[in-house]
Every structure is written in C-alpha cells, then in structure tokens.
Amino acid sequence: MRGPLIVSLDVANREGLFKIINKFPTGEEMTVKIGMELFYGEGPEIVRSLLNKGFKVFLDLKLQDIPNTVKMGMMQIGRMGVTYTTVHALGGSEMIAAAKEGLELGSEEAGVPTPKLLAVTELTSITEDALKNEQNCRLDMVDQVVSLAKLAKKSGADGVITSPLEVSSLKKQVGDDFLYVTPGIRPANFPKDDQSRTATPKQAAEYGSSALVVGRPIIRSNDPVAAYHKMLEEWNYAN
C-alpha cells in the first residue's frame, strides 16, 4: 500500500488553518504538515490541537545547526507525538545522528512513538543550474541527491525529502528500506509556482515515491476537499 498524501497546511494562523480543516468530514484519516509559517505564528499549541483532533502530524521545521543544538531541539519535537519531522541533510552525519538521538530521548521520556526523521536533500525549488552555479556542486542533481540520501541513511534517518524525479535512482542506489517523501507535486496543467522539480501524483507513484506532500494545489483550491480526493485517487490508483 502507498503511504499518505500529506496535506501541507501552509497558512499564517489558526483561523486560516481551521477554515481549511473544518471543511473535511470528521473521521477523515489524514496526515497534515505544519511548517515554519504556522508554527512560528502559533507555537506548539497548534500541533497539540491537530493531534487532539485525530490528525497525524508532520512537523516540518528543517533543522540545521551544530549537532548539540539540533539534538536539544529534536528532544522537544520528540515529546510532542508527531509522526514525521525534518532536518537538512547538508547539516552532515553528526548532526543527523544527533537529531535522531534527540527524537529518541524526547519520545521515550514522553512515552510516545518516535517520529520518523526525514532529511531534506536538495529542495524541490532548486534547479540543476542553481546546484552547479550557486552551490558550486560538481555532481548532477540526481547524483547529489543519492549522495545525500546515502549519508542520511548511514546517519540514522528514516528517509529523505526529495523530488519524485530522483526516486527511481534512489530506490536502486539507496534501497527500498528507506522513505522517499516527495513534495513538488502538481496536477497536470497546474502552475509550478516556486517549485522546479515537479511531477503529477500519478508520475510520483510510477517513480516509486513513498508519500506525497501537497500544499497550494489543495489549500488554495476553491474546494480543498474535492482537490484532495482527486489527487488522492490519482496517487492511490496509479499502477
């Protein structure tokens, strides 16, 4: 079975959040992502509100700092009862291992399951050109993503965030026993916005993504529930 289609609730405050989620029927099993905009605006209480309503929560704060700072931050996240959280793989092996340790310590202390640690490889907004000319990376995008995913796996992450376009290479070179969570998802004929490495839900399923992350195509739709179900169906029923 495919993993979830995670709805990215990129809004500024709880009013904006509840305007969207109250449209969904109660009992709808959903994983939602809280990112820096809502978390910085409303604080950890917003995570608790969503957990209390029965949502699974992906808390995406993309930590990157020295290992001890990340470990202590992840201890706090580990206590909350979220299902997934993120670091930047570019923080390096020691930082990723420290993040994992912090999550384990925090979740154990609180008696909740340990969140899955996902390492962001190259953001889906980054083009091949920016990789070469701004990051001065010698590798092509796919090789760079594979290299960061190998580092993340070796350091104890449960998976990576990457675009669907790299997933088939990742599965071959990094293995099937790792999560490949992919944003940059756009329905056919939908604007890319600031994303550059994009695919449709069907293409992502064909490439082998483990889970999708979708924001604007759902939350900015006139009918977010219909947009969610349409994309979910495409994701679940692609071959």
> Which residues carry a binding-site annotation for substrate?
10, 33, 60-69, 124, 186, 195, 215-216
In whole angstroms, the minimum distance from the beta carbon of 64 to ligand OMP comes to 12
| Residues whose CB falls within 8 Å of the CB of residue 167, separated by 6 or more in sequence, listed in order | 180, 182, 204, 207, 208, 209
Q: Which of 7, 20, 21, 35 is the binder for ligand OMP (CB under 6 A)?
A: 35
CA distances from 137 to 44, 100, 172 (A): 36, 27, 22
CA distance 178 to 157: 9
DSSP class per residue in 39-52: HHHH-THHHHHHHH
Please report whether residue 193 would count as binding ligand OMP according to CB under 6 A. Answer: yes
Active site residues: 60, 62, 65
Please report whether residue 81 would count as binding ligand OMP according to CB under 6 A. Answer: no
CA distance 114 to 65: 21
* Beta strand ranges found along 64-145 (DSSP E): 84-88, 116-120
Q: Which of 60, 158, 166, 234 is the binder for ligand OMP (CB under 6 A)?
A: 60
CA distances from 142 to 41, 88, 166, 197 (A): 35, 17, 6, 11
Please report whether residue 234 would count as binding ligand OMP according to CB under 6 A. Answer: no
Q: Which of 21, 87, 98, 123 is the binder for ligand OMP (CB under 6 A)?
A: 123
Convert residues 90-119 into a mask of x (bound to ligand OMP by CB under 6 A) and - (unbound). ------------------------------
Residues that bind ligand OMP (CB under 6 A): 8, 10, 35, 60, 62, 86, 120, 123-124, 161, 183-184, 193, 195, 213-216
